[in-house]
Amino acid sequence: MSIFVNEKTRVVVQGITGDFGGRHAKLSLDYGTQVVAGVTPGKGGQVFEHGGKKVPIFNTVADAKRETGATVSAIFVPPPFAADAILECVDADLDLAVAITEGIPVKDMIRAKRAMEGRRTRLIGPNCPGIVTPGTGDKSHGGCRIGIAPGYIHKRGSVGVVSRSGTLTYEAVWQLTSKGHGQSTCVGIGGDPVNGTSHLDVIKLFNEDPETEAIILIGEIGGSAEVEAARWIKANCKKPVAGFIAGATAPAGRRMGHAGAVIGGADDTADAKIRIFRECGIEVAQTPSDMADALLRVWKKR
């Protein structure tokens, strides 16, 4: 098992004819992911070819779903059109929309999130590295890679990883893999202030997933999502959790790269979040180099 996606998941790529979307569609195909369709309005009927594979392109997400059975979309559409692309997935009743796009206006996301209430489609992101369920082949080949993460750093196993940041996720995954510990699923929920799936949503799914035995929770300054997840973990989580919060040295009031990474008050500093992690029984990594070791300290105890 895994969460959200597995090796059989059929993926459509919105923006497959763009540089960014095309490059990562190829990498996903190389990884063995079932990329079965592309969507670019006006280019329906064309074919995206890579490594001997032919991926049909459709004008709409609904067409792609009907013709190929795709259930999950990877969105690489430029910011002004990205909220529209997300809502097209909702209209087509996909299971999951993974929005990689960085720089979507907050107002667009406020509206899109409201329009998704009560609908079946789940959103991951935006401004996220995506999601990887590693495969069982060499260098985790054969898995489901949706987004921009490097596939080969993964290894199939039993640690769930959830993070707002891309490269910090890779750092944690690489530490785990280097120490011989694989991952069930790695989820980048994105660095924007309005996103579709929270740390808590992912933690709940990891808690229920039989393959996931332990969890790494990576957060940063800004907002209260990590605190909400930590409180839930204390009350409900059956599995060992290690955590890291980036931004201990960030000055208040400045956006640190991510639109959502800004200290707004006394409660969303790194120190405040780390304190609550400790109160909730989460093993805190001292430095970003210590993420895998922090998990092993609590995982071994059990």
Partner 1 sequence: MNIHEYQAKALFEQFGVAVPKGATAQNASEFEAALAKLNGADGYMVKSQIHAGGRGKGTFTNGFKGGVKFSANKEKALENAKAMLGNTLVTAQTGAEGRKVQTIYFTEAANLGKRADGRDDEYYLAILLDRATSRPVIVASTEGGMEIEHVAHATPERIFKVHVDPAVGLQAFQARQIAFALGFSGDLFKQCVTLVTKLYHFYWEKDCAMVEVNPLLVTKEGKLLALDAKVSFDDNATYRHPDVVALRDLNEEDSKEIEASKFGLSYIALDGSIACLVNGAGLAMSTMDIIQHFGGKPANFLDVGGGASKDQVTAAFKIILGDPNVKGILVNIFGGIMDCDVIAQGIVAAARETGLTLPLVVRLEGNNVAAGKATLAASGLKLVSGDSMADAAQKIVALVAKQ
**Footprint of partner 1 (CB under 8 A):** 27, 79-80, 103-111, 113-115, 148-150, 152-153, 163-171, 174, 191, 193-194, 218, 220-225, 228, 244, 246-251, 253-261, 265-266, 270, 286-290
Closest separation in Å from C-beta 273 to partner 1:
13
Closest separation in Å from C-beta 284 to partner 1:
12
Residue 245 has a CB neighbour count (10 Å cut-off) of: 22
3-state secondary structure labels for all residues of 93-127: CCCEEEECCCCCCHHHHHHHHHHHCCCCCEEECCC
CB nearer partner 1, residue 100 or residue 214: 100
CB nearer partner 1, residue 63 or residue 290: 290
Q: How far apart are CA 82 and CA 261, in angstroms?
A: 21
The tokens describing 2, both together, are 């895994």
Say how many CA atoms lie within 13 Å of 85 toward its Cβ.
29
* List 24, 154, 181, 258, catalytic entry: 258
CB nearer partner 1, residue 107 or residue 120: 107
| Secondary structure letter of residue 252 according to DSSP | T
Q: How far apart are CA 243 and CA 35, in angstroms?
A: 33
Closest separation in Å from C-beta 214 to partner 1:
21
* Residue type (1 letter), 95: D
- Percentages helix, strand, coil for the chain (3-state, rounded to 5) are 35, 25, 40
CB nearer partner 1, residue 103 or residue 137: 103
Among candidate residues 12, 2, 45, 258, the one with its CA nearest the CA of residue 121:
12
Closest separation in Å from C-beta 62 to partner 1:
23
CB nearer partner 1, residue 135 or residue 193: 193
Closest separation in Å from C-beta 250 to partner 1:
6
Is-catalytic flag, 24? no
Beta strand 183-188 pairing with 156-163: parallel
Give the catalytic positions in this structure.
Answer: 258
